[in-house]
Amino acid sequence: MNHRFCLLLLALLSVTIGHADEIRMVASDLLAEIISPPLKKAAVEKELDFKIKPLGTLPALDRLRAGEIDLAVIAIPDGEEIPRDEFRIRPFAYDVAVIAVNASNPINEISKPDLAGIFGSGEQLNFKSWGELGLAGWGTRTIKPLLGVAEQSIALELFRHEVLLGGSMKPSVSSVREAEIEETLSRNISSVGILSRVPENKKLKILMISETGENDSPAYGPTVENIHVGDYPLRLPFYLAYKVRDEQKLEPIVRALLGSDVAAALNKNNFFALPENVRNQLPMSFDFQQK
């Protein structure tokens, strides 16, 4: 074979092998900055060529339909339609709203309607004292509702969507800075707060929440397992969305998104990554084989 032709062939092969198709990715602006660093690390290790930009769910789906992007991380509240007939949809992570009280408070669980009666204006129920919720010996203790969520969190919007059905808060709900909410709750035994993260203060108690408070509606706490299966009701799911035809191309980046580095970044920033066993098993259900 001609020596010059061999050299040219080798050069062409090296360009072809060394070039990876660019993966065009967008992510909810709630998550984009959090998952970008571990994804960039994975891109270097796996020699991936990808770009990630923050974008809301609706425009992200529009761009995915138009073929302008390959992969989107989207947020879809429970009860809203998920476009499974158009795209491959995989679970990815969760954000939550947490309800906490002083550890001295005897209450352990509460229903969504009762929460609406404490925090919402114009609700059918209107609770002003803990005695109205059936707490023995607490009949005269006035409920002090607090809101203490991070500025970048959607915990308030999530609470309004799931509990108040889009309604408004009572004027009596006091806003407290996120950095102060745990200390405020620990000092006042009559207070109850909406938080954007699981509190670390041992003087606080996280309430389990039920849908209706009826006997057939058990209450669940915000554990990662309860959140993932949908038993804990104050959650916002995030999903991976992409076209089925692109599944093989997206295998490396999908595995990175479900990897331990991204999960650690999510958990560190008060989101909930998928349970580890789910993250480990999920890629096995993907059709990564060449069609």
Domain boundaries, the chain: 18-94+235-285, 98-229
End-to-end alpha-carbon separation of the chain, Å? 35
d(CA 239, CA 86): 14
Q: CA-based angle 81:156:265, to the nearest 5? A: 80
In the predicted structure, residue 70 carries a pLDDT above the cut 50: yes
Report residue 287's pLDDT band, with 50, 70 and 90 as the boundaries: low
In the predicted structure, residue 18 carries a pLDDT above the cut 70: no
pTM beyond cutoff 0.85: yes
Q: How large is the average pLDDT for residues 152-164?
A: 93
Considering only residues 5 and 251, tell me which one the structure prediction assigns the higher pLDDT. 251
How far CA 213 is from CA of 14, 113, 114, 206, 216, in Å, comes to 65, 8, 8, 17, 8
d(CA 278, CA 290): 24
Query: Under CATH, what is the fold of the domain 18-94+235-285?
Result: D-Maltodextrin-Binding Protein; domain 2 (3.40.190)
Q: Contact at 8 Å (CB) between 128 and 142?
A: yes
pLDDT tens across 246-279, in order? 998 899 999 999 999 999 999 999 999 999 999 9
In the predicted structure, residue 19 carries a pLDDT above the cut 50: no
| Domain spanning 98-229: CATH superfamily | Periplasmic binding protein-like II (3.40.190.10)
pLDDT tens across 184-229, in order? 999 999 999 999 999 999 999 999 999 998 888 999 999 999 999 9
Mean pLDDT of the chain: 89
Q: Do domains 18-94+235-285 and 98-229 have the same CATH topology?
A: yes
Q: How large is the average pLDDT for residues 2-28?
A: 55
d(CA 169, CA 209): 19
Q: How many helices (H) and strands (E) does the chain have?
A: 10, 13
d(CA 250, CA 256): 10
Q: CA quadruple 88, 236, 72, 17: dihedral positive or negative?
A: negative
Strands 144-148 and 191-195: parallel
